[in-house]
Structure formats: structure tokens, C-alpha cells
Amino acid sequence: MTPGPQAPFFTLVVPVLDGGCAFARSLAAIARSGYRDLELVVVDDGSTDGSAERAKGAGAAVLSTSGRRGPAAARNLGAALARGRYLFFLDADCELHADALGRAAALLRSDPALDAVFGSYDDEPPAPGAVSRYRNLLHHRVHQRGRHDAATFWAGCGAIRRSSFEAVGGFDAARYPRPSIEDIELGARLRAAGGRIRLAPDILVTHHKAWTFGSMVRTDVLARAAPWTELGLRSGGLPRDLNVGLRERASLAALVGALAAGVAALWVGWLAWAAAALALAFLLLELDLFRFLRRRGGIPFALLSVPLHAVHVLSGGLGLLVGVARHLRSAGGRRGGPADERSAPYPPSHLPGDRAGRNPAGPRA
């Protein structure tokens, strides 16, 4: 569907479930933004804290999923009724910087061949506690150092051409009924269809999420590493992008080796030296991260972040094993692309253009 002449440039789609004070800050930041060529659509996924009423008070068009169907389904619902040329997805706990929408629009206008763009958390997360600060700063640093020619997408703060979104079938709400890697999987399908995605680290949001140690581990294992591994096995391999690059894999190998050698040293004493050497290798591989964390929070915070990061890396390794086991158990164990008929909301035959990649992501708006 081609937008009419009065259609806004952006439809801002915000899924929310009991957004609380963070959602109020997110709405206030949208109102403060100087960018006006947009419509705001909030999709309530079963809130009981008045989030829907708060969104209506902010002038948003408010839709309801009629139950807790997850952010993928909520975003699809908002996208289905959008009028904008581009869908700008924003998480309810993210507060836009004043220039974020303008920067995204300028980038998309300057490069009409781009299908999608996404930004980054800033380096001033307000949630208290070492775990929250470590986790949010880690995400910031990953996106600040990622390849600008991206092989993935992030729906926390990311825009995608509406025609391209529709051409690849939107988010896979059936496979991802809860918060997971639905945006990464969408990016994989878009890239497989020949689309172009840009990481723009100067498009910033403040993340208000408060993490606990338990929520960090559960997310890393079950909502990130395991489904990302399954996606990689279905599509023939993980991209060396964002936090699955060679250095991250080397860090995991060094840390697992250090733990294994440390345990074996209880019987073979000289292996303690091997454990120490591998632990040192892990620290050296992550030295830039720990220096960054020291600059943002001081020496005590950086020291506390060392075991937190070790747990994060090991959780990724555990999630990898869980993902492999799930893949081998599932009926989808056959090799297929990320947009095959088992994973995409719509079969790939719905994509316009030929299979060689010409006109791969639908008509340009």
C-alpha cells in the first residue's frame, strides 16, 4: 500500500504492557521532540496500570491486542493501521533524545536505498544498581561499536520502510509470543531478501529498564542466546555482527577453558597455571570494555562488572547449548533460510520481485 500525499513520514509504534513511570517519560520525550511529521500509535498488550489511558492523554491513537500476545504481535497490529512511509518502532521504556527522530528521518531521506535504520542506548542509564548499569552500558557499547552496514535490526529504537516491512511479512509473532529476538529475526529476513539496514549510533535513547541478576541470566540464556542460536542454525550460521563476533566467541572459549582447567587442577595441580592463563586471556580480550566501564562508573564499578560480564558470557554459552538442543529436537531441524515457510509470518512467495534479489524488499515508497 502506497501512502497518500498527506501521510506522515513516520508512524511511531510503541507496544506497552504496564509501562509505568518509564512509559510516561517516553511519551513526554516524544512530545518534546521537535520532529512533527509523524503519527503516534500505542498498542496496549493488556496493561492494568493505566498505560492505555496515559497514551490517550498524550494524543496517541491507542490500539489493544485484547490480551498479552507479546511485543511482536503488538507491533504488527500497530503497523497494520499505520499511514506513515516508515514505521518507527520504540520500546515503552526508551526515552528518545530530542534529535533522534530528526536524525533518523535525515538519514533515510539522504539514502533512499536504505530499508531500515536503528540506533543505540545512550551512556547515561538512570536505573540504579550495578547490574542495571552494567547491562544497559554493555548494550550501549555493543551498538556504538557495531558495523554500520548491519545484518540485524533493533526494534527498541528503529525505523523500517513500511512497504519493506510488509513485503517480508512483519514480525514473526507465532514463533516469538514473548520478548525475544523477534527484531533480529526480522532483520535477518530483510537482509536475506536483499534489504539494506543501517546502524546509526548517533540516534540515541535513554533506557529506563531496571535489571536484576536473575532477569539478566534468564534473558541471556532463554530470550537471547538460545533463540539466536536456533535462528543461526536454521539460516546456516550466525552473522559476525554486534555481540556474536570473533572476539566474543574467543572470550567464551577462554572463560570456559579457564573454568574447566580450574576444576581439573583439583586433581592435576599444574593445570592451575593453564586456568590462570586462560582467565588472563579473558580479561585481556575484554579489557576495552572494562576500561569503558571504569570511565562511566569508576574503579569499584568496573571491578564488580568483571564477574557480571563473566556470567553474561557464560550465559551466552549455556544458551548456545540450549539452542542447539532445541534445534535438534524440533521439527524445523531441516536447514532453511531465515525467511522459510516455517519461520516467516507469510510464505516467501509473497515477496515481490524475482528470487535473484532484484526488487527484493518491495516497492519503494
Q: What is the pLDDT of residues 249-297, one digit of tens each?
A: 889 999 999 999 999 989 988 889 999 999 999 999 999 999 999 999 9
Please identify which residue in the block is written with the cell numbers 514473526: 172
Give the model's pLDDT for residue 78: 97
Domain identity same for 229 and 164: no
Query: pLDDT tens digits, residue range 55-82?
Result: 999 999 999 998 899 999 999 999 999 9
Does 357 map to a domain?
Answer: no
Judge if 57 and 95 occupy the same domain: yes
**CATH number for the domain that contains residue 57:** 3.90.550.10
The domain boundary, picked from 186, 210, 234, lies at 210
Helices 271-285 and 246-264 cross at an angle (nearest 10°) of 160
Longest CA span, the chain: 75
* Same structural domain, 243 and 342: yes
**CB neighbour class for 256 (10 Å; exposed up to 12, middle 13-18, buried from 19):** middle
Q: Is residue 132 part of a domain?
A: yes
Structural domains in the chain (count) = 2
**Helix, strand, or coil (residue 200):** strand
- Which domain does 151 fall in, by range? 10-210
**Structural domain includes residue 363:** no
Q: How large is the average pLDDT for residues 208-226?
A: 96
Query: Does 191 share its domain with 266?
Result: no
Residue length of the chain: 365
Write out pLDDT tens, residues 85-111. Answer: 999 999 999 999 999 999 999 999 999
Is the model more confident about 355 or about 307?
307
359 located within any domain:
no
On whether both 25 and 121 belong to a single domain, the answer is yes
**Is 92 part of any domain?**
yes
Q: What confidence score (pLDDT) does residue 247 get?
A: 81
Shared-domain flag, residues 218 and 238: yes
Residue with cell 531500515: 116
Determine the Cα–Cα distance for residues 52 and 89; give it in Å rounded to an integer: 17
Instruction: Identify the weakest region by mean pLDDT among 5-14, 191-200, 231-240.
Output: 231-240
Residues 192 and 254 in one domain: no
Same domain, 179 and 36: yes
Residues near 117 by Cβ (< 8 Å), separated by ≥ 6?
Answer: 104, 107, 108, 158, 159, 197, 198, 199, 200, 203
Tens of pLDDT, residues 15-34: 999 999 999 999 999 999 98
The vertex-217 CA angle with 96 and 207, nearest 5°, equals 10
Instruction: Tell the burial category of 322 from Cβ atoms under 10 Å away from its Cβ (0-12, 13-18, 19+).
Output: middle
Task: Return the pLDDT at 342.
Answer: 34
Of 179, 210, 241, which residue constitutes the final position of a domain? 210
Are residues 155 and 81 located together in one domain of the fold?
Answer: yes
Q: Is residue 228 part of a domain?
A: yes
Model confidence at 156, pLDDT cuts 50, 70, 90, reads: very high
% of the chain surpassing 90 pLDDT:
78
**Shared domain check, 284 and 192:** no
Whether 3 is covered by a domain: the verdict is no
Q: Do 130 and 204 fall into the same domain?
A: yes
The answer to the question of residue 358 being in a domain is no
Please determine, for residue 40, whether its predicted confidence score (pLDDT) is greater than 50: yes
For 202, phi then psi, to 5°, come to -90, 0
Asked if residue 4 has pLDDT above 60, the reply is: no
Q: What are phi and psi of 280, to 5 degrees?
A: -65, -40
- Residue where one domain finishes, among candidates 193, 210, 227: 210
- Asked if 91 and 221 sit in the same domain, the reply is no
CA distance 216 to 195: 32
